[in-house]
Copies of this chain bind each other. A is one copy, B any other.
């Protein structure tokens, strides 16, 4: 199996943009120059990623006005204060409306850079260069940008589309194993919510995926991007169907908040959250026990958690779930599975059922 560069066009009328997926993209000067066309470029990256890839990118910018900001690494820096630092440096550097902000890093970098691009001078160009699996299959696609508020995740943000998403699967070679596995939770999610065949493909090629074979990575990431692009084009501002992308996330966000974003990676809480949502789907007899088991087995095989390991109270998690953005006028929306490969938005889930699911994943 051999693959060339894959391109997906996200068809948002006047804001359509390409997703490029290939290996060794950051060493491919010709390809990069096709997309980094602005005369002013401002890179936002972090201390882990900067030494690995920033010099490669700067090398192709000889005739441009270029600057960068290197942030500390971690979700705890996805704040309004960090956002302000980016704006300060753009203002001090006198970048005008012609600048493109380039996010080089994982989801945190992409989210905060996108929000800065959305707000700087009321909006400048934005280019995503995601370097983690999570960012490549999820965070960089769909135009959601945000920073966290002390009382809730992603509470300050904007819907803002990038001009291009450049995915180099070679960057995954250096990704720590735990982060790679966490990203696979979102990959599995796409199978569960939209594509039964893809779910079974993951199970079939789980070894190739674990060993990060480039061709399999390109296929896998391409399918995830296609699914996410299709869903987000149909519902850019999350008025309806897009909510299915949050499968597992209402639980996951609550677990992240209850553990102060310190114990788990985002993808790990999504894995646990998908177990909770699938458990409810099982109780409502939408999915069969064998299907539920196949999910648990796959998560186990990929060493992803299926239960919490801390002592967290049911009431604590529920109060964080009530804070979730998916709530409109106090009615809780939950994403469940109608079957493997088909998610549904439910407003009918009883509080008792939510309690049971929270206990199943280890809450007390």
Interface residues of A (CB under 8 A from B): 39-40, 80, 84, 87-88, 91-92, 94, 96-98, 118-123, 144, 146, 149-152, 154-159, 237-238, 322-323, 325, 327-330
Contacts and interface: CB of A to CB of B under 8 A. Distances in A.
A91 B152 contact: yes
A154 B156 CA distance: 18
A97 B155 contact: no
Given A96-B329, A122-B144, A144-B122, A84 B80 contact: yes
Copies of this chain, how many?
2
A168 to B, nearest CB: 28
A146 B118 CA distance: 12
Given A87-B149, A149-B87, A155 B120 contact: yes
Given A92-B151, A121-B157, 14 more contacts: A39-B329, A40-B329, A80-B84, A91-B152, A94-B322, A96-B327, A96-B330, A98-B328, A119-B119, A120-B155, A120-B156, A121-B325, A122-B159, A122-B238
B159 A97 contact: no
Query: A interface, by DSSP: helix, strand, loop or mixed?
Result: mixed
A329 to B, nearest CB: 4
Nearest to A151: B91
19 contacts: A80-B80, A80-B84, A87-B149, A87-B155, A91-B150, A91-B155, A94-B322, A96-B325, A97-B328, A98-B329, A118-B158, A119-B156, A119-B158, A122-B144, A122-B154, A122-B158, A122-B159, A122-B238, A123-B159
Given A91-B151, A92-B151, A149-B91, A157 B119 contact: yes
